[in-house]
Amino acid sequence: MKSFLYKYSAKLFLYITVVFTPILSTLLWLGVFIACDLVTGIIKARKTSKPITSRAMSQTATKTLLYFLLVICSHILDTQFLNVDFLPVKITQLAAGFLAVTEFKSVAENMGEILGMPIWEFLKNKMYRKDA
């Protein structure tokens, strides 16, 4: 029985590795965006004296899980069901791109709250600052 479990668990692990290796970097970068949003959100909460609750942290964990599941499911759709070469963009790219832009926008909004002005205005002021 032990060899049966070992044999099939090794095959399952190999299958999962082969199927999901193409989206590993996508999931990694999406995780980086989510982590940046979390960190800037914590800094913003401290600056605005809002309490940091476990409920807010659990929402981030739930969001991360749902984002990853969306990317994984869209990858399965691309590779197993819609395996066509004539589409210029894959569903996985669209889903991951939308999620990354959403997180980037959230980070930019958090930075605006932290800096007291929109991030783009802050960067413009830094770039065109005249030293006397």
pLDDT tens track for 37-53? 999 999 999 998 888 88
Mean pLDDT (whole number) for 75-102: 87
Residue 72 has a pLDDT of 93
Tell me, what DSSP letter sits at residue 10?
Answer: H
Does residue 49 fall inside a structural domain? Answer: yes
Query: What sign for the dihedral angle of Cα 21, 25, 26, 29?
Result: positive
Residue closest to 73 by CA, chosen among 32, 113, 23: 23
Does residue 132 fall inside a structural domain? Answer: no
Domain containing 70 equals: 2-127
Share of the chain above pLDDT 70, in %: 97
Identify the burial level of 86 via C-beta atoms within 10 angstroms of its C-beta, where 0-12 means exposed, 13-18 middle and 19 or more buried. exposed
Does residue 117 fall inside a structural domain? Answer: yes
Q: Is residue 90 left, alpha or beta, with left meaning phi > 0 and alpha meaning psi from -120 to 50?
A: beta
Alpha-helical segments (H) within 1-132: 2-20, 24-47, 54-76, 91-115, 119-127
Task: Please say if the pLDDT value at position 107 is more than 90.
Answer: yes
Does residue 44 fall inside a structural domain? Answer: yes
Q: What residue type is 33 in one-letter code?
A: F
Residue 132 has a pLDDT of 44
The pTM score is 0.79
Does residue 50 fall inside a structural domain? Answer: yes
Distance CA 47, CA 30 (A): 26
Distance CA 112, CA 118 (A): 4
Residue 90 has a pLDDT of 86
Does residue 101 fall inside a structural domain? Answer: yes
Residue 39 has a pLDDT of 95
Residue 42 has a pLDDT of 93
Does residue 22 fall inside a structural domain? Answer: yes
Structurally, the chain folds into a number of domains equal to 1
Residue 1 has a pLDDT of 63
